[in-house]
Structure 1
Amino acid sequence: MRSSRTADSAGEAHGTAEMADRAAVLEHRAQLVDELSQELDDTNRGLIALHTELEAARAAEARLAAIVAASDDAMISVSEAHVVQTWNPGAERLFGHTEQHIRGKSIDTIVPGAAFTAYRAVVEQIRAQGHADSYQSRWLCADGSEIDVAVTVSPMRDTDGALIGFTTAARNITHQLAAQAELAAARADREVMAERDRIARDLHDMVIQRVFGAGLALQSITARITHPDTSSRIHKVIDELDATIRELRGTIFELGQPAQKAASLRAQVLDETGTAQDRLGFAPAVEFDGPVDAALPDTTAAHLLAALREALSNVARHAHATAVRVTVRAGDELLLEVTDNGRGIDPAVTRSSGLTNLRRRAEKLGGTFEVAGRPEGGTRLRWRIPLTTAKDSSF
């Protein structure tokens, strides 16, 4: 009986141990399952976060691509060897090349000559310093025309920070430069008008008053002179002074007027000769030869009109002529010729201030001036300049 009970007890102990082992195994397995489940949850959350980041990156890339595609500026990526890699629609609109045509070609296709030299200098500055300032340049379009652009070049780097190329943005600044030029011209016009106002005031307050005073002094002297010839000469001088005052007042009025686009040169020459008719006592004959209006810039035409005005004034003052012919001829050179049938020219007169001004105007424009007597009587004045090398000059 005792041995049977002992055997039963051993059996029960062994069964209990097996059950404990099974329970431990089950507990270990449950623990492993929990750990695996936790790892799966963490992995799932990680995958979701990674997916979210990828979607955000794709959305950001799409937004960036949309911005580049919609931009009016040219946005170009270029390799270190200056080969075009990407070309946005703004670049196509600005320069006229399609992406299929330009991609794989050197950027000097649109950046010629000195502009390419400037571009390479900016690239070298980026290599050395990491950045470069924007600059202005003139680039070439597909149709052969050139366009003014503001250029910004930036480095492209890989994930390790190594330089792999350059992004280049070019903006059309043609209208901006035109507006700046108009503004500068407006400022210059204001300065010119201010200077003209100052000159007009000085002429009115000083010169006219002195000439007028000289005329009054001569009139008072004339009353005490009894010799007819002397009195007649003084009266002629007084008449000349009156004419001078009228001319000065006309000049002052013109100085006070804003600059306007000049009428045709033919019309202005006819106006000048018509104005001189009162002083001459007759109408000068006028002749034109060649493309007078088409050949001259406004500044050159202004010098010719000033020379004509001075020549006709000299005839009125000194020649005592009854006929004057004005010829304006345009070809390879511009010729102004004024001839009269007056008393001819005294050699001393060639040193007058009026003739000196005529000579100076011609020489400043690379031309010549000559005045001489005519065999048949009277004087011939020739004022000529080469139209191919005429320079702008101010007096």
Structure 2
Amino acid sequence: MEDILEALPEAIYLTDGDGRITYYNEAAAELWGVRPVLGHSEFCGSWKLYWPDGTPLPHADCPMAMALKERRPIRGVEAIAERPDGTRIPFLACATPLFDAGGALTGAVNMLVDLSERAVADETAERLAAIVESSDDAILAKDLSGTIVTWNKGAERLFGYAPEEAIGQPVTILIPLDRQDEEPRILDRIKKGERTEHFETIRRRKDGSLVEISLSVSPIRSRDGRIIGASKIARDITERRLVERQQRLLLREMNHRVKNLFTLASSVVTLSARSAGTPAELATAVSSRLAALARAHALTIPSIPEATGVAEQSTTLHTLIRTIVAPFDRDELSRARIEGADVAVSGNAATSLSLLLHEFATNAAKYGALSVQEGSIDIMCEEAGERLVLTWTERGGPAIRSEPTVEGFGTLLSKATARGHLGGDIQREWRPEGLFLKLEVTRGRLSEA
């Protein structure tokens, strides 16, 4: 019998009816970290005992002692044994009293199951659960039928459903109708043990709004290796996508502006050559006009003082217009006649208006009145209640035969600037004698920082 007990991996020991230890196997000695004296040590061979909460557990109250005292099995009780070196081992006790043929108590046998690995696993699981719960990303788990079984706070923030609203529901409540085919494909991959990483898609919140996410899906396996579900991590990429769109817009604007600069430089040279009598006169005229063009371009860039970091830019509408069209003047005579209200313009409005007027002048230099020496522009500024109305009328340029069929990037940029930054709109009329533009803006926006 002792050979059999020695071969068992679990700690086993015996006591007599008074609780004195009469036998223990090597597994018990290893768990206790000490070899108790047979016939002397009572109830348990460990150096010290504690309850799971760390409260000291007297040997006289341990499961083995209770089994002997109450003459009944005490099984499934957890406790902690402390070795002489201070190491603590959590264990599960299964104490059983032994009786002779006449029913007299002769002793007891106890089996101690080492719970160290389970404790480590439990601690790891608790740590993982804390990480999942505190994550900014939405993390959820579903079974193989697609039913949500766990739901963290990140998922609640992203999708709007409380845990009690989401758990038990099909994960398809998050999927827009036009993307319902994605879930069967994801489940098929999971059942094959395959991961889905950084899948960019769109999901639906509780309020019906849509959100762009990056989705990673991994299979969940049971202890025996069977796939029993999937974990999903969803990250909101709305801000990233917005930044990407802004970057693309900036690159398009940069490309557009560079092309315009080359075109403007060519126009300046062409216009200057028509009135210059000598190379020196041509160089002086080109240099002067390019300098004026640089001053106009500077108006599209807000100045930011190092001390405050706040954009500061203030001027008047007439000054703004004159600076923009100055590079195209002929023999120091302005080719633009400006009339009407001269209102103050500051802050971001100065930048936005500069962009619009620069776009108008650039197009006029490429295709309209400023592309020929005889062309001119009439600009009228009028206040109409809460609105400022600016009309731009080109005369003397190439005849317009038809309205363009496609809107260029510059036109789209102008509309976006007028509506988004200035609370206004732009109207264009492609008259045979020249382009007519009507820009309406909200007066209150002209002085906003």
TM-score by length of 2: 0.48
1:159 positional shift: 4.1
SS in structure 2 at match of 1:81: coil
Alpha-carbon distance change, 161 to 250 in structure 1, aligned in 2, over 3 angstroms: same
Equivalent residue for 2:269? 208
SS in structure 2 at match of 1:149: strand
Alpha-carbon distance change, 115 to 304 in structure 1, aligned in 2, over 3 angstroms: farther
Alpha-carbon distance in 1 for matches of 2:125, 2:167: 21
Find out whether 1:154 has 2:218 as its counterpart.
yes
Equivalent residue for 1:68? 132
260, 277, 300: which one aligns with 2:301:
260
Q: Deviations over 1:215-265 (max 9, x none)?
A: 22599xxxxxxxxxxxxxxxxxx99x997875455335546x59536999x
260, 279, 297: which one aligns with 2:333:
279
Find out whether 1:91 has 2:155 as its counterpart.
yes
Q: Residue type of the partner of 1:59?
A: E
Whether contact under 8 Å (1:138, 1:148) holds in the other structure is: yes
Higher helix proportion, which one? 1
SS in structure 2 at match of 1:284: strand
Whether contact under 8 Å (1:303, 1:361) holds in the other structure is: no
Alpha-carbon distance in 2 for matches of 1:314, 1:175: 43
168, 182, 188: which one aligns with 1:104:
168
Find out whether 1:137 has 2:201 as its counterpart.
yes
1:167 positional shift: 0.8
Aligned residues: 300
Alpha-carbon distance in 1 for matches of 2:189, 2:137: 23
Alpha-carbon distance change, 80 to 299 in structure 1, aligned in 2, over 3 angstroms: farther
Equivalent residue for 1:122? 186
Find out whether 1:338 has 2:380 as its counterpart.
no
SS in structure 2 at match of 1:136: strand
What runs of 5+ residues in structure 1 fail to find an aligned partner?
1-31, 220-237, 373-380, 388-395
Alpha-carbon distance in 2 for matches of 1:168, 1:363: 43
Equivalent residue for 1:317? 374
Whether contact under 8 Å (1:75, 1:91) holds in the other structure is: yes
Alpha-carbon distance in 2 for matches of 1:112, 1:121: 15
Alpha-carbon distance in 2 for matches of 1:362, 1:136: 32
SS in structure 1 at match of 2:146: coil
Alpha-carbon distance in 2 for matches of 1:169, 1:73: 7
Alpha-carbon distance in 2 for matches of 1:215, 1:383: 31
Q: Residue type of the partner of 1:208?
A: V
Higher strand proportion, which one? 2
Q: Residue type of the partner of 1:279?
A: L
Whether contact under 8 Å (1:335, 1:382) holds in the other structure is: no
**What does 1:150-229 correspond to in 2, within 5 Å?**
150-178=214-242, 180=244, 199=262, 203=265, 208=269, 211-212=272-273, 215-216=276-277
Equivalent residue for 1:383? 436
Alpha-carbon distance in 2 for matches of 1:298, 1:258: 6
Equivalent residue for 1:370? 431
Alpha-carbon distance in 1 for matches of 2:220, 2:141: 8
Alpha-carbon distance in 1 for matches of 2:288, 2:317: 19
Q: Deviations over 1:76-118 (max 9, x none)?
A: 0112232211101222233332101111122232232345444
1:161 positional shift: 3.8
Whether contact under 8 Å (2:321, 2:357) holds in the other structure is: no
SS in structure 1 at match of 2:164: helix
Alpha-carbon distance in 1 for matches of 2:122, 2:354: 62
Equivalent residue for 1:228? none
Q: Residue type of the partner of 2:126?
A: A
Q: Residue type of the partner of 1:203?
A: A
Alpha-carbon distance change, 212 to 318 in structure 1, aligned in 2, over 3 angstroms: closer
Alpha-carbon distance in 1 for matches of 2:254, 2:378: 39
SS in structure 1 at match of 2:197: coil
Q: Deviations over 1:244-302 (max 9, x none)?
A: 875455335546x59536999x96677326867973599533489xxxx9xx9997765
Q: Deviations over 1:324-345 (max 9, x none)?
A: 5647999xxx9955288xxxx7
Alpha-carbon distance in 2 for matches of 1:159, 1:139: 32
1:313 positional shift: 4.6
Alpha-carbon distance in 1 for matches of 2:240, 2:271: 50
Alpha-carbon distance in 2 for matches of 1:196, 1:297: 17
Alpha-carbon distance change, 35 to 79 in structure 1, aligned in 2, over 3 angstroms: closer
TM-score by length of 1: 0.54
Alpha-carbon distance in 2 for matches of 1:36, 1:115: 62
